[in-house]
């Protein structure tokens, strides 16, 4: 704990004189009698500066999480810290999402009073937000529906090089993958959880097929074929969990990002999340999905705001405006593999029994 070194004055501590002088509307600079200052430009600046402040805090917390996961072993108490900081990032996201409502109090015609002064500035150039995306696991090579050169070309040389270099560092997605691959419990002695899981899945699949066959009299030929095709696809999806070649093809096609081993261990955590030792890992993965979902929602709301303000006009940075932002919201996600784990869930009543020795490892005991 640090000791107080003397009296501290609120305004000095927060550097308010400097901070509150950072809102300098361009329309004020160029104002004259025929073109007065655009009143809502101050709001535009304040909202975007507030975003950047909160991005700074998100990066501060995210960097600490990356540092923890960069270790060869993550201790239990550190996992609690990760969960606490992911939760704070989630809460910040909820709060910055509400700032769009404040921005929407500016009408499209109010925006047009100063919009042309901003060209070619763009949200593309928020280096902090791009840092967040890259550190989470969305690298510029992975971005869909956008030309990488166009994307990086909106940045100055310093910021462009910073982001390119950052892409060479392990992201949270990759560090999570390595951590999941080290997860124990699924194979121990004579116990192989995945053999038991596969037997259960095959039994459920056979039951589903029997149900379809027993209802054949009530189905048209087309309905029978559709149900049998759906069952075939379901079986192939489950089988891809245990086929390294099939998994590699999905990764190559962009259908999966994590390794097969990481996905299997993440699924085990999800299936047995009520076990004490898996509660924090499950909460951590849930928060990662929340953060991914919140950024997707924020991008989508941003797209709607752009359409509301600009209609079909080109954005100030040269993008297609609303259409680009909508595609970004639909396609640029990080933890898709965690969302897709629900595909492989089975009823709790059909979960394989865990041996007592493994059960003890998963519980707090003396």
48 is annotated as contributing to ligand binding: yes
Distance, in Å, from the CA atom of 62 to the CA atom of 68, rounded to the nearest integer, reads 10
The secondary structure of the chain in percent helix, strand, coil, rounded to multiples of 5, reads 65, 0, 30
- For the chain, the residue count is 366
46 is annotated as contributing to ligand binding: yes
For residues 266-275, one letter each, b for 16 or more C-beta atoms within 10 angstroms of the residue's C-beta and e for the rest, the string is: bbbbbbbeeb
Q: What 8-state DSSP symbol labels residue 366?
A: -
Q: What 8-state DSSP symbol labels residue 186?
A: S
Cis bond before residue 120 (omega within 30° of 0): yes
**List of residues 6+ apart from 281 with CB closer than 8 A:** 79, 183, 269
The Cβ of residue 296 has, within 10 Å, a number of other Cβ atoms equal to 17
The DSSP string of 197-247 is HHHHHHHHHHHHHHHHHHTGGGS-HHHHHHHHHHHHHHHHHHHTTS-HHHH
233 is annotated as contributing to ligand binding: no
115 is annotated as contributing to ligand binding: yes
The torsion angles phi and psi of 128, rounded to 5 degrees, stand at -65, -40
What is the Cα Rg of the chain in Å?
A: 26
Place of tokens 């924090």: 280
Distance, in Å, from the CA atom of 311 to the CA atom of 277, rounded to the nearest integer, reads 51
316 is annotated as contributing to ligand binding: yes
334 is annotated as contributing to ligand binding: no
| Tokens at 309, concatenated | 């303000």
Q: Residue ranges for the binding site for heme? A: 302
Q: Residue ranges for the binding site for substrate? A: 44-48, 115, 316
Q: Residue ranges for the binding site? A: 44-48, 115, 302, 316
């Amino acid at each position: 704990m640090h000791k107080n070194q003397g009296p501290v004055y609120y305004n000095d501590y927060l550097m308010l004189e400097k901070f509150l002088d950072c809102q300098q509307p361009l329309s004020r600079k160029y104002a004259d009698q025929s073109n007065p200052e655009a009143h809502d430009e101050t709001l535009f600046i304040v909202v975007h500066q507030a975003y950047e402040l909160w991005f700074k805090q998100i990066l501060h917390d995210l960097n600490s999480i990356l540092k923890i996961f960069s270790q060869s072993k993550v201790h239990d108490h550190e996992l609690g810290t990760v969960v606490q900081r992911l939760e704070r990032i989630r809460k910040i996201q909820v709060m910055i999402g509400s700032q769009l409502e404040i921005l929407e109090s500016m009408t499209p015609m109010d925006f047009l009073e100063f919009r042309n002064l901003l060209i070619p500035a763009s949200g593309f150039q928020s280096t902090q937000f791009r840092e967040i995306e890259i550190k989470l696991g969305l690298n510029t090579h992975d971005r869909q529906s956008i030309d990488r050169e166009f994307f990086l070309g909106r940045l100055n040389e310093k910021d462009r090089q910073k982001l390119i270099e950052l892409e060479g560092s392990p992201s949270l997605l990759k560090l999570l993958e390595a951590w999941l691959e080290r997860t124990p419990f699924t194979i121990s002695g004579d116990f192989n959880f995945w053999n038991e899981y596969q037997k259960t899945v095959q039994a459920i699949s056979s039951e589903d097929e029997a149900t379809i066959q027993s209802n054949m009299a009530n189905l048209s030929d087309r309905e029978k074929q559709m149900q049998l095709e759906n069952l075939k696809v379901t079986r192939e999806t489950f089988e891809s969990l245990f086929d390294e070649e099939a998994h590699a093809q999905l990764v190559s096609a962009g259908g999966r990002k994590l390794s097969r081993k990481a996905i299997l261990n993440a699924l085990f955590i999800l299936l047995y999340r009520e076990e004490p030792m898996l509660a924090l890992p499950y909460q951590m993965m849930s928060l990662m999905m929340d953060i991914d979902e919140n950024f997707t929602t924020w991008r989508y709301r941003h797209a709607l705001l752009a359409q509301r303000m600009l209609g079909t006009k080109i954005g100030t940075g040269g993008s297609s405006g609303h259409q680009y932002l909508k595609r970004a919201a639909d396609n640029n996600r990080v933890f898709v593999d965690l969302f897709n784990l629900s595909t492989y869930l089975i009823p709790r009543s059909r979960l394989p029994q865990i041996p007592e020795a493994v059960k003890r490892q998963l519980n707090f005991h003396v």
